Chains A and B, each alone.
Chain A
Amino acid sequence: MSRAPFDIGQYRAAGGYGSVEKMLKTMAPGDVLDLVKNSGLKGRGGAGFPTGLKWSFVPMGDNAPKTKYLVVNADEMEPGTFKDRLLMEGDPHLLLEGMMIAAYTIQANTAYIFLRGEYLRAEKLLQNAIAEAHNKGLLGKNIQGSGFDLEIILHTSAGRYICGEETALLNALEGKRANPRAKPPFPQVSGLWGKPTIVNNVETLCNLPGIVNYGIEWFKGLGLGADAGTKLCGVSGRVKNPGCWELPLGTPIRELLEHKAGGMCDGYALRAFLPGGGSTDFLLPQHLDLTLDYDVIGKAGSRLATGTMIVLDDRTCPVGMVGNLMKFFSHESCGWCTPCRDGLPWIDEIFQRFEKGGGLESDMQVLTDHLEYLGPGRTFCALAPGAMAPLGSALRHFRDDFHDHIHGGGCPWQR
């Protein structure tokens, strides 16, 4: 991303903030909510929860609390995920425009962008964009005479994967240790400082201006399959042309991998891939003809999640790759609940032993036990179940590799 993003003049000249003008002039908050609900937009942060439905739980009307918050989850830290950074560095005003739509819909007058501390360029660009929007009267009091007030505040984090979990993010924003919160109550009812709060991913919000501008049918028409709209999809690993592209949902994975990413590097073959970041199950070459749809990938036993694909080639050790992820998840556990805090380090130790030699057959049983023990519903939040996705699928798909590590005195791969 070397090109400088549009400044507000260029952005407006290209039709930017048109959706906000349209919305403030012609739409009530309820109208926008209906529009987004009916558009079929699903959260692009990983969970794929319908955005309009999420918003609809915010109390509205005269009896609703006066203070509400919109929070942007820009704490992109999922291993292998590099899409929100591109959006923020490439088109910061698009995010602000999307935020204004979301804030207006739930009638929040303050919005925070919770940005990863390491995203220094995005920080500068967003700070600048906020100032520009302020100067043009697109932020602040009584925006464009609509009576709607909005301040956008950029908050930069200090590095913790768990802050990407929306309730942990709220605790971090309140200046507390970023342990996740129990749900219910959901943030829509009791969120930031106990007030109704929506937490949306950067990419999700960037879809909104288009939906407001061009409508539901247009948005639905973008998708090729069951899901509406487009998705930023990335590929990293040993491919010829790694990168990130906006593709219609429903695009076959093969197209992403072989056409956009140029296929595998010479001398490398595809062994497996994580379709949507580090917390998803491995898919195999036989899955290449599946389409990028939430349900389709779900049925195949994995998740579309962030849509950024990590490719495992045939010359890279799958055990080492999973071990790398386990170390990451172990280190990024917040330390709140027992299975995650104490289970992941054990798994990490076992993978280190596999690598160095000394792995035991009984270690496989410990790993298998942890799959259930750290599974969904067993832990306080989704971090550990996310970690179990690559582990569980690796145990299924790469059993021989584990066997080789245990009985071959360590990692047999020359890397």
Chain B
Amino acid sequence: MAKITVDGIVYEVNPQNNLLQECLSHGLDLPYFCWHPCMGSVGACRQCAVKQYRNADDKIGTVVMSCMTPASDGAIISIADAQAVKMRSSVIESLMISHPHDCPVCEEGGECHLQDMTQMSGHNYRRYDFKKVTHRNQNLGPFINHEMNRCIACYRCVRYYDDYAGGKDLAALGAHHHVYFGRQEEGTLESEFSGNLVEVCPTGVFTDKTFSEHYTRKWDLQTAPSICTGCGAGCNTTPGERYGTLRRIVNRYHHDLNGYFLCDRGRFGYGFNSSDNRITEASLVSSHADEKGVRKPLTQQEAQRQFDALTAGDVVGIGSPRASLESNLALRARVGVKNFYAGFSAEQQRCMQAVIAINREQGLHCPDIRTLEQADCVLVVNEDITNTSPRFALALRQAVRNRASQLATDARIPLWQDAAVRELAQNELSPLFILSPQGTRLDDVATETCLSTIAQQVALLSAIANTIDASVGTAATDEDSAEQARRIAAALISATKPTIVSGISAGSEALIHAAANVARALRKHSVQSAAINLCFAMPEVNTMGLALLMEEGGGTLDEALQRLARGNADAAIVLENDLSLRTTPAALDAAIAGTDSGSAVWVVIDQLHNSFNARAQLLLPVTSFAEQNSTFVNYEGRAQSSHQVFPADAALRPGYEWLTPHDPLSPLLTTSETILFHSAQTLAAFAGAEKLLPPRTGMQALMKSPRQLHRYSGRTAMHANSNVHESKQPTDRQSPMAFSMEGLSLQKDSSLLSAAWAPGWNSNQAISKFQDEINGELKQGCKGVHLLQRTLPPQSAMAVNPAKAGKKGTFVVYFIDHIFGSDELSAKSPAITARSVGPYLCIGKSEATALGLHQHGLARVSNGDHVVELPVLIRQRIAAGAVGIYCGAEINRHLFAGSVSVAPVHEDDNVLARSRQMFSDLIINDSLINNSEPGRS
């Protein structure tokens, strides 16, 4: 620790940091633009000027940029010094000379860092009376608006987009006061993390286009701390609501997980919430003879009555990896453990058992996302994380830069000197190895991408493990693989934080064990070092939660379907689950048909209409993540609370409310809290989960946290169009939050921090006021509860069964995931739909030529029993002998798992033109598509 003096007051600081960061960490108001907690300093904007004195006798001092000056021990600075104050106000005056006076119509207004800093710097009179510089804007696609006239040229956008997130299609163009931040030609921003520009831009150049559709000022949004439901990473979000509709999602800082950034699926994938697909009322297929088969709407009371009546007998309950823990628990409680079945496919369930066991094994460590960023050697096993757990991919882009940090440390360049570190390290990157059946979006920073099928990957992993520890795995059979295994093993061994990242997308248990065996071999090899990082991405928000629940008993989905097919149940309750995605049509049809002696009544509780729940007799509408309190368990086994943002329409209820029989005599409400508390007491897998609940003592026990900012407007009048009498605010009896402006102010208690705000800090940058230090832990609040403990002793390597080879003349199938489209719910959001493509087949160039397939033509894909015609994407980078299928919402992947044969289909020009159009929207790194060579330069 070092000490610095700021305006006569001594502060303890970390001398590794710069003065700006330390001043902000200590809660001082010092304006800035180009600096960012995750991106360091470049000294461009000159806004953070302070006066620095050489020593106590120096009364004159020098104006320095605090972001470019180390917080060295003994430094004496002044923020209040007149010259420094004047410098800062001059900078603002400059920045404003071409800035439009459009705050009233600017979507940044009210949460604009530029507004905040202008106020803070005291600039309030315009002396510049010449013409402003103006620019033309670009159409950047369905996510982001572009309004260049507002630009203050802080360079944050390109530093974030290109330098931090690895984007290639946003650049600083032109020079002097004509610098322009945009694309070489207009078009959709390609990065999967483009949405963060909205928050990185200190003013309104880049704003959220989906938000524009139904814009509301920040202060008029009702918000609550929420969890992203786009995948199983558990990123923290703040959804905002007004007039009963979800308006946008922004990042909510979580120290261990998402930090300051989200992926575009998470940010823009909320639109399904108010889509036309939403199930808005309960309905029942009539069984009366005269109107048989007609679906009729029900009131909530009727629906509840019908539900109870229909499910009074022998009931099968099928849970869901995308439903809250509480709803799954409630279903399990309602039907009993022996009637409770997992809502994921059998192969996923097997994978999850393996993953949970590995996550309980000592000597291995499941890295949070921040830890992923710190890895100095990464092996990605099969999982296409950019598309399945995108926030991991952004983290790995930081991990490869640890080599640069190391070089900078050696050269005594402070790590916050962002440009200097990059200039020093140039193209030097930490090792990143990717095993994948096709080229990935991370290939540009990968040391090596080994294009390989699952079977080949299992063999290679086995060889890597064997190279590290000869008693494990099997040596490679050919010299090329042996050499490859040696390269990867050597890099892992020499790393101090070796990290293996995989997932369950492939549904291959063998692959999970093979990946774990490498970690085990590493653990054995370097006994003294810290635990080996090994994690598995989860496809859905609560995959891990449901898998943990299944540890406490219950059957597989296959068992449920077989039981239903045998007619061994009166009813089936399916919780928030489209079973057509989980199994083959035949298995599902059989289950629905039952036997001649009787078939079950199907009750489906869900958010969106789909082909499966159209077949349910009773369909119950359920609240979305934003309309209910939930607990979700992420890939680490970290349970986190997601709070209700706004009251849903009366017809909608949370799953756990539908499922919990209401006892009118009991004074106690069944709430998400009571369900969670009960399960924490009774189920070993959820021991400790009660720590998520709000404290029962202190102010929080007496007062609620407001969901509305103190400037929330129109409350007394917003419903005056329907009733001039001011309606009572909805009360929230279920959670520690209130649908109101009243309650505990953030400055008193920020344990439930949705929208950060502090006096003078209206933008998201206010978050620094709630951190113990910049980019540090939040001072208050719960980071979640880890449900998985390392209770199992280190295991020796598991024997891995090699995957079966395909039949001759067939191709091994791998399934492709897309960030926009592969997630069931977000795919139904208009902005995401605009970025999605339909199903297609991916094939290598030589295979395509041999078969007579052309680029963007049609192919007939067959597994013997089932045939589908798909547009063809010929890729350069794909494992030999493999074909990829992207299923979209149209193709059932369970039909084509294993191997398929492929044949060309004659296509007409219309088909070609259509698929060409479709593929032109697809963003993948492939030289056949966009002519750029993948791989490190």
Contact = CB atoms under 8 A, between A and B. Distances in A.
A380 interface: yes
Chain B interface residue count: which class? 35 or more
Contacts of A362: 127
A335 B43 contact: no
B64 interface: yes
Contacts of B179: 335, 341
A332 B176 CA distance: 6
A409 B312 CA distance: 96
Contacts of B417: 182, 185
B127 A333 contact: no
B426 A193 contact: yes
A110 interface: no
A356 interface: no
Given A333-B175, A343-B94, A190 B424 contact: yes
Given A185-B413, A341-B153, A346-B97, A333 B177 contact: yes
B420 to A, nearest CB: 5
Nearest to A336: B44
Contact of B426 (A194, A331, A372): A194
A177 interface: yes
Contacts of B87: 373, 378
Contact of A380 (B46, B94, B153, B411): B46
Contacts of A343: 90, 94
Given A194-B423, A349-B130, A369-B90, A378 B175 contact: no
Interface in A279-327: none
Contacts of B8: none
Residue from A330, A331, A332, A346 having most chain B Cβ neighbours under 10 A: A346
B440 to A, nearest CB: 27
Interface in B24-78: 42-47, 49, 62-64, 68
B95 interface: yes
B155 interface: yes
A377 interface: yes
B424 A337 contact: no
Contacts of B177: 330, 333, 335, 341-342, 344-345
A135 interface: no
A198 interface: no
B91 interface: yes
A63 B801 CA distance: 50
A205 to B, nearest CB: 24
Interface in B77-113: 86-87, 90-91, 94-95, 97-98
A84 B451 CA distance: 55
Interface string A187-198: 001100110000
B587 interface: no
B176 A341 contact: yes
B176 A366 contact: no
Contacts of B413: 184-185, 190
B128 interface: yes
A413 to B, nearest CB: 23
Interface in A50-90: none
A20 interface: no
A337 B45 contact: yes
Nearest to B152: A338
A185 B47 CA distance: 22
Residue from B44, B68, B97 having most chain A Cβ neighbours under 10 A: B44
Interface string A178-213: 000110110001100110000000000000000000
Contacts of B42: 182
B178 interface: yes
Given A190-B423, A333-B177, A335-B175, A342 B44 contact: no
B420 A380 contact: no
A181 B130 CA distance: 31
B176 A334 contact: yes
Chain A interface residue count: which class? 35 or more
B64 A335 contact: no
A339 interface: yes
Given A331-B176, A339-B94, A341-B176, A185 B43 contact: no
B172 interface: yes
Interface in A358-400: 362, 366, 369, 372-373, 377-380
A185 B94 contact: no
B98 to A, nearest CB: 7
Contacts of A254: none
A185 B417 CA distance: 9
A184 B43 CA distance: 12
B419 interface: yes
Contact of A342 (B49, B86, B95, B426): B95
Contact of B44 (A190, A333, A338): A338
Nearest to A373: B90
Residue from B46, B63, B425 having most chain A Cβ neighbours under 10 A: B46
B522 to A, nearest CB: 31
A190 to B, nearest CB: 4
B174 interface: yes
A366 B155 CA distance: 26
A185 B424 contact: yes
A382 to B, nearest CB: 14
A117 B176 CA distance: 19
Contacts of B46: 337-339, 378-380
A160 interface: yes
A377 to B, nearest CB: 6
Interface in B395-437: 407, 411, 413, 417, 419-420, 423-426
A378 B43 contact: no
Interface string B163-176: 00000000010111
Nearest to B418: A182
A160 B175 contact: yes
A379 B87 CA distance: 11
A378 B176 contact: no
B411 A190 contact: yes
B629 to A, nearest CB: 46
A332 to B, nearest CB: 7
Nearest to A170: B423
Contact of B420 (A185, A342, A344): A185
B503 to A, nearest CB: 35
Interface in B132-186: 133, 152-153, 155, 172, 174-179
A342 B133 CA distance: 10
Contacts of A378: 46, 49, 63, 87
Contacts of B425: 194
Nearest to B47: A338
Contacts of A344: 176-177
A369 B178 CA distance: 23
Given A181-B419, A185-B413, A346-B97, A335 B153 contact: yes
Contacts of A336: 44, 155
A182 B419 contact: yes
A343 B46 CA distance: 12
A273 B90 CA distance: 31
Interface in B261-308: none
A333 B425 CA distance: 27
Residue from B64, B174, B178 having most chain A Cβ neighbours under 10 A: B178
Given A182-B419, A194-B424, A337 B43 contact: yes
Contacts of B128: 346
A193 B428 CA distance: 11
Contacts of A160: 175
Contacts of B91: 338-339
Given A182-B68, A341-B94, 16 more contacts: A160-B175, A177-B172, A182-B43, A184-B413, A189-B411, A194-B424, A334-B175, A338-B45, A338-B46, A338-B95, A338-B153, A339-B46, A343-B94, A346-B130, A366-B127, A378-B49
5 contacts: A335-B175, A338-B45, A338-B152, A339-B91, A380-B44
Interface of A: 160, 170-171, 177, 181-182, 184-185, 189-190, 193-194, 330-339, 341-346, 349, 362, 366, 369, 372-373, 377-380
Q: Nearest 3 A-B pairs (CB), nearest first?
A: A342-B94, A335-B179, A194-B424
